[in-house]
Amino acid sequence: MRIDIITVSPDLIKSPFEHSIIKRAIDKGLVEVHFHDLRTYALNKYGKIDDYQFGGGAGMVLMIEPIHTCISALQAQRAYDEILYMTPDAKTLNQRTANTLSMAKNIIVLTGHYKGVDQRVRDKFVTQEISIGDYVLSGGELAAAIVCDAVIRLIPGVLGDETSALTDSFQDNLLSPPVYTRPSEYDGMKVPEILLSGNFPKIDEWRAEKALEHTKNRRPDLLED
């Protein structure tokens, strides 16, 4: 997979790609991530990429032309499956969306800033808009990093144990059951006996029960879905 991120703050978004599982995925060549500074496509030598909104109101709006130039330059090189736009006024990211995106070959991720982008960018170029939750961030960069992380870890070969993504919370619309490690007793708190039993069918059963119980208590909405 190849991901091209268009941003006004490349430095803000790079760090999550330089560590741990995501870095290893890049090092292994399972995913390529490229950052494009929107200012490179600015309208003038002063780096103009935004302007006041028509109709008045606070906040600057990213202009269509630099974004169009950047997207066209990328599209001239290869076809893209999706052009994502990070924005709080969109459908919230969930595991299903991450699963679907993980099967794409080439993705552009456009991050907003200030008041967002000219609506015509969204109408003409964007194929999918994603919010990461009902709150407003200072820009779409952190949201883009979250979407990319959720997607990249699902690419086959990224996680060492191929099955571990399948047992994540949300894969079956269920939250994960609790997990424990050594010691089996700490300060009087014991690990559930069943997990020490070696009876794997029973352990699977216990985990399924706990996952359901956990979901009923914390996220009953997932069970209605």
The yes or no reply on residue 88 touching ligand ADE (CB under 6 A) is yes
> Which helix H or strand E contains 224, and what residues bound it?
helix 220-224
The residue sitting closest to ligand ADE, measured at its beta carbon, is: 143
The yes or no reply on residue 101 touching ligand ADE (CB under 6 A) is no
Alpha helices of 125-199 — where are they, by DSSP H?
A: 141-152
Whether the ω angle into residue 66 lies within 30 degrees of 0, i.e. cis, is: no
**x-or-dash pattern for ligand ADE, window 143-182, by CB under 6 A?**
x---------------------------------------
- Least spacing, CB of residue 171 vs ligand ADE, in Å: 22
Answer yes or no: are the C-beta atoms of 130 and 73 closer than 8 Å.
no
For residues 80 and 64, what is the distance between their CA atoms, to the nearest angstrom?
Answer: 19
Q: Which is nearer to ligand ADE, 84 or 174 (CB)?
A: 84
- Tally Cβ neighbours within 10 Å of residue 136: 10
The yes or no reply on residue 102 touching ligand ADE (CB under 6 A) is no
CA angle, residues 87, 131, 154, in degrees to nearest 5 = 125
Q: Which is nearer to ligand ADE, 133 or 178 (CB)?
A: 133
The yes or no reply on residue 16 touching ligand ADE (CB under 6 A) is no
# binding residues, ligand ADE (CB under 6 A): 12
Residue 199 phi, psi dihedral angles, 5° rounding: -90, 90
The yes or no reply on residue 140 touching ligand ADE (CB under 6 A) is yes
Distance of CA 197 to the CA centre of its chain: 38
For residues 214 and 162, what is the distance between their CA atoms, to the nearest angstrom?
Answer: 24
Q: Which is nearer to ligand ADE, 131 or 215 (CB)?
A: 131
The yes or no reply on residue 89 touching ligand ADE (CB under 6 A) is no
Candidates 136, 196, 208, 223; binder of ligand ADE (CB under 6 A) is 136
Q: Which residues sit at the interface with ligand ADE, rule CB under 6 A?
A: 86-88, 112, 131-133, 135-137, 140, 143
